[in-house]
Amino acid sequence: MSNSRVIEIDSSGVAETTALKDFLSLIKIGIVNSNLITTFTGMWLALVVTNQHFLQSLDTVILTLLGSALIIAGSCSINNYIDRDIDPIMSRTKSRPTVTGKMSGAKVLTIGFSFITVGTILLFFTSITAGVIGIIGIFSYVVLYSMWSKRLYVSNTIVGSISGAVPPLIGWAAVDPNLDIMAWVLFLMMFIWQPPHFYALAMKRCEEYRAANIPMLPVVKGFEVTKRHIVFWVACLLPLPFFLMPLGIAFVILATAFNIGWLVMGIAGFKMKDDLKWAKLMFVYSLNYLTILFVAMVIVTVI
């Protein structure tokens, strides 16, 4: 793959890019990286719970992380192929190589299906359960979300949350196919976290989604209804830390504090006059929430 710089800026204002940047955009490297954090956490906690040594399980660790990265990257590539007709309408997606034409549809599909195939095989080398969960994640993202619900139903975000919640399950199942209750709590944390995260993003990008005819909640129901839904989903996170007591009281307190902080910020949105400013605050909080708590789960088992 050539890494020569493309210096042209077209009439739509798409900035210069490189072949590497195009590839990373195609596979949505940000999504890959964030999901690998949750995959690693699920795997790490399974090692701790089953009293297995990390260094003695490096083969499983490498296979799991590489396999997960590949199926996520491959699924995102196919998602970009599917969305190539609507991505030009949205500012955050109009520079994707599937829009600019720097990657052909055939190349994108080849990358997508190749990554998914190899990634799935690697996950099956760890455990059958991890491989099956990986396939469920791929199917839910590519078929149930990208091809079906995204353009038809306001519940598309809920459907899409299934795929985003499976990485910690994959990580756990690679080590321990008999999924512990903690594994399912991690799944629920990820599933419940996604609606308030993406609803906040959808509020910020509401007019772009409207122009692309994507029935996101703020587009169909408006900001007030969206804010109520966000607060509801954040409130659903409140009991989950108490199912993670094996991680220690310090973590439970930390997670509860983050949940309450997010809920208070959400409720404050009903009094703020600037909905978009509030949505940005909620979106940024959600990013920090996920990263800090999943990293903290690892830290508390080490110290």
CATH number of the domain within which 293 lies: 1.20.120
Tens-digit pLDDT profile for residues 166-223: 999 999 999 999 999 999 999 999 999 999 999 999 999 999 999 999 999 999 999 9
User: Do residue 171 and residue 218 come from a single domain?
Assistant: no
Three-point CA angle 227, 229, 234, nearest 5°: 95
H/E segment holding residue 44:
helix 29-49
Domain that holds residue 230: 181-303
**Nearest of 233, 86, 89 to residue 150 by alpha carbon:** 86
Three-point CA angle 115, 117, 119, nearest 5°: 65
Whether 283 maps to a domain, the answer reads yes
CA distance 252 to 16: 46
Amino acid found at 99:
V
User: Do residue 131 and residue 50 come from a single domain?
Assistant: yes
CA dihedral (6, 9, 12, 17) positive or negative: positive
Cβ contact 216:208 at 8 Å: no
| Structure confidence at residue 276 as a pLDDT band (50, 70, 90) | very high
Q: What is the pTM of this model?
A: 0.91
Whether 204 maps to a domain, the answer reads yes
- Chosen domain end from 179, 196, 221: 179
Three-point CA angle 78, 92, 286, nearest 5°: 90
User: Do residue 289 and residue 168 come from a single domain?
Assistant: no
- Chosen domain end from 160, 179, 198: 179
CA distance 34 to 21: 18
Biggest distance spanned by C-alpha atoms of the chain: 58
pLDDT of 289 > 70? The answer is: yes
CATH of the domain at 105: 1.10.357.140
Whether 4 maps to a domain, the answer reads no
CA distance 77 to 55: 33
CA dihedral (233, 293, 216, 163) positive or negative: negative
> The tokens of 9 are what?
């800026």
Average pLDDT over residues 65-89: 95
User: Do residue 112 and residue 149 come from a single domain?
Assistant: yes
pLDDT at residue 192, as a whole number: 98
Query: What's the structural domain count of the chain?
Result: 2
CA distance 135 to 117: 10
pLDDT at residue 41, as a whole number: 97
pLDDT at residue 243, as a whole number: 96
Three-point CA angle 186, 126, 136, nearest 5°: 55
- Chosen domain end from 164, 179, 194: 179
| Structure confidence at residue 54 as a pLDDT band (50, 70, 90) | very high
User: Do residue 190 and residue 156 come from a single domain?
Assistant: no
Burial class (CB in 10 A: 0-12, 13-18, 19+), 256: middle
Cβ contact 249:260 at 8 Å: no
